[in-house]
Chain A
Amino acid sequence: MANYILRRLAQAIPQLFIISVILFALMQGFGDPVATLGARTPPRQEDKERLRRMLGLDQPMYVQYLVWLIGNDWMKLDMDGDGVPETPGQRKGILRGDFGNSLVTRRPVLEMIADRLPNTLLLMLTAEAVIIVASLAIGIYSAARQYSLADNVITAFSFIGFSMPVFWLALTLMYIFAVNFKRWGLPYLPTVGMFDPAVGKTAGELARHLVLPVATLAIISIAGYSRFVRSSMLEVLNQDYIRTARAKGLTRSQALWRHALQNAALPFITIIGLDLPFLLAGAVVTERIFAWPGMGRLFIDHTERSDYPVLMGILMLIAAAVVVFQIITDVFYSFLDPRIRLA
């Protein structure tokens, strides 16, 4: 087992390296980051050149990539443009945990991500928990009562839920539970941010602000996932060993919970496991609508400014998480299903 994990991790290194090279090359296609730095007054030409030199943007791409990867604290830089390198470099490179500094805010990228990641994880993990519980409950229920009225209604709703644009659902929920509830004098939900400045940072405030974005994310995913649970349950319920279990005297629900669920849960665990790393990326659209200060907004705000160190940091974090979670999912799966041997 340890051998298997080590080998998978070793295979992941070239994969991440290739991803970083490709992404870095793509980043060169972005607009000139310096062009957007001058606020209202566009910077003068010589200021632009000085800025580029200070940010290392005047170097050829492979040098910039190497600096990003392994840093430049082992060489001297020519900061004043007189052709004589004299200033020692400061960067350590991503391999030593230095993700570089944002071109826009000048803050370390890692610090900016650390600011946003807890917010995103709070939002996404809450949503994911709701999704898992609700999809299992709905999926098992409708599989156990296949083609009943309830099953048909659930099917119809899941098709509609699955086809809804997430931004439309978000705005509709806002309209119902914030606008109209307020109008009708009911307890209404807040629509933007994580806290109400007038109330302060309390857990209750946070929970109230979580409801709408979590509901938005959950409703759409539950629609798809509950169908997935339903069809894997149905597949298992048609197997011979379920009939055997029933024949030896188990009740329907005993066969369902003791034998069917264990096997039907396996594919569900796989898709959840492969889903988890993407949670780091946050939800671009939902975070934007509900003004949730998470990773999705960080990503899109800095895409607009061509702030490539931030984008590289976020994307590499996601890629690394994807690789790690693929391994975790495979290992976990082999524990749950003894028929699978890791080789």
Chain B
Amino acid sequence: MADVAVPSPAALDSERLSVESMSLPRLALRRLFRRRSAVLGLVILGFLTLVAVFAPVIAPYDPELPLIGIEDVKKREAPCIHALGCPLDRPQHLLGTDGNVRDFFSRIVYGTQVSLFIGLTTVSASIVIGTVLGAVAGYLGGWTDNILMRLMDVVLAFPQLILAIAIVSMLGPGLQNALIAISLVSIPAYARVVRASVLSIREQDFVSAARALGASDAHILFQRILPNAITPLIVQATLGIASAILEAAALSFIGLGAQPPTPEWGSMLGAERNQVFTAPHLVFFPGIAIMLTVLGFNLLGDGLRDALDPRLAQSGVKVKA
């Protein structure tokens, strides 16, 4: 979903003038903040981070506590908001109650923690493994490269969700195993990105210079080459978090991921999916929460790609004729 950024000629001039005095990361950051989509993505993610951190303050109820005998509510009750005309003698439940008489709003709020956790852990795990595999394959070349990349091809020969389902079924259903499965199936994407960067960087003069100075292979690879290969990896990772969250939600929806009573959006939706006819709010809100989170990462990733894309930076910005 790459976009060709076309700022006005005036913006181009001002950028050209100030480029000299700015460091590369600052320049990238400035380009990032100039893109509306990226800023919107950052705002969404900032909001969700706040919700996740302050979940205990925001949520009025314990997300895993059935309210039977505590309050006069029935299961799957429609939302009751006092400000919108719900009788004041009824207990307020912003998003209603679920099939186990739990406050749905509190569960959605706590679900933010779970979703962000899923996105960050799976992607960190697959980045670390993928980077090492891709870097070693690209740097050493030859047989090592061949074997590692053929292994990656095995993973890429299947739709990600099918493979993830197979792995989770093997390990047993549960959030932790779902995270492992999603990390495993997304390794090849990172390994390929890093390998491609390493292949192009290792031929450059500063690498030869480091070698001539007597640097070890490990030093050249991790200190000289990898820092220069990090840009495409950041973009890939941001978009990767979005798809990891979607996949984890799908696994939980099928019943292979997070298990009840964990407030995970996908499993909340899966548990109540037959209630779409009678209590649609139990289906809509978790889905909207997932969509908002994924949207945040997609917007940020798209903005990052435009801000960091070396092709755009090198060739200058093309203005459409």
Contacts and interface: CB of A to CB of B under 8 A. Distances in A.
A29 interface: yes
A341 to B, nearest CB: 22
Given A167-B250, A179-B276, A318 B159 contact: yes
A189 to B, nearest CB: 14
Given A167-B270, A284-B162, A319-B157, A175 B280 contact: yes
Contact of A303 (B169, B249, B286, B295): B169
A315 B254 CA distance: 19
B283 interface: yes
Contacts of A246: 321
Contact of A175 (B1, B6, B283, B290): B283
Interface in A212-239: 224, 227-228, 231, 234-235, 237-238
Contacts of A146: 6, 320
A311 interface: yes
A188 interface: no
A134 to B, nearest CB: 16
B291 A165 contact: yes
A30 B168 CA distance: 10
Contacts of B4: 231, 234-235, 238
A315 B269 CA distance: 28
**Which one of A27, A171, A284, A289 has the highest number of Cβ atoms from chain B below 10 Å of its Cβ?**
A171
Contacts of B158: 281, 315, 318-319, 322
B154 A278 contact: no
B277 A179 contact: yes
A191 to B, nearest CB: 9
Contacts of B254: 284-285, 288, 300
A313 B276 CA distance: 35
A243 interface: yes
B170 A164 contact: no
A37 B37 CA distance: 53
A165 B266 contact: yes
A162 interface: yes
Contact of B295 (A18, A160, A174, A235): A160
Contacts of A19: 154, 157
Given A281-B159, A304-B169, A318-B159, A166 B320 contact: no
B283 A29 contact: no
Interface in B54-106: none
B246 interface: yes
Contacts of B269: 165, 167-168, 171
B161 to A, nearest CB: 6
A1 interface: no
A172 B270 contact: no
B213 interface: no
A166 B291 contact: no
B298 A159 contact: yes
B298 A15 contact: no
A233 B45 CA distance: 31
A159 B253 contact: no
B284 A299 contact: no
Contact of A237 (B249, B283, B320): B320
A316 B262 CA distance: 35
A159 B321 contact: no
B321 A243 contact: yes
Contact of B154 (A22, A166, A303, A311): A22
A304 B168 CA distance: 10
A163 B291 contact: yes
Contact of A159 (B2, B37, B280, B290): B37
A181 interface: no
B1 A227 contact: yes
Interface in A126-179: 146-147, 158-160, 162-169, 171-172, 174-175, 179
A167 B298 contact: no
Interface in B249-270: 249-250, 253-254, 266, 269-270
B123 interface: no
Given A18-B154, A26-B166, A147-B6, A163 B270 contact: no
Interface string A173-198: 01100010000000000000000000
B314 to A, nearest CB: 15
Contact of A228 (B1, B6, B167): B1
Contact of A165 (B153, B157, B169, B290): B290
A306 B158 CA distance: 19
Interface of B: 1-4, 6, 37, 150, 153-154, 157-159, 161-162, 165-167, 169-171, 242, 246, 249-250, 253-254, 266, 269-270, 273, 276-277, 280, 283-284, 286-288, 290-292, 294-295, 298-299, 302, 318, 320-321
11 contacts: A15-B150, A18-B150, A162-B298, A168-B283, A172-B284, A179-B276, A231-B3, A238-B4, A300-B165, A318-B157, A319-B157
Interface of A: 15, 18-19, 22, 26-27, 29-30, 146-147, 158-160, 162-169, 171-172, 174-175, 179, 224, 227-228, 231, 234-235, 237-238, 242-243, 246, 278, 281, 284-285, 288-289, 299-300, 303-304, 306, 311, 315, 318-319, 322-323
Given A159-B302, A168-B269, A172-B284, 5 more contacts: A29-B171, A165-B246, A303-B166, A315-B162, A318-B159
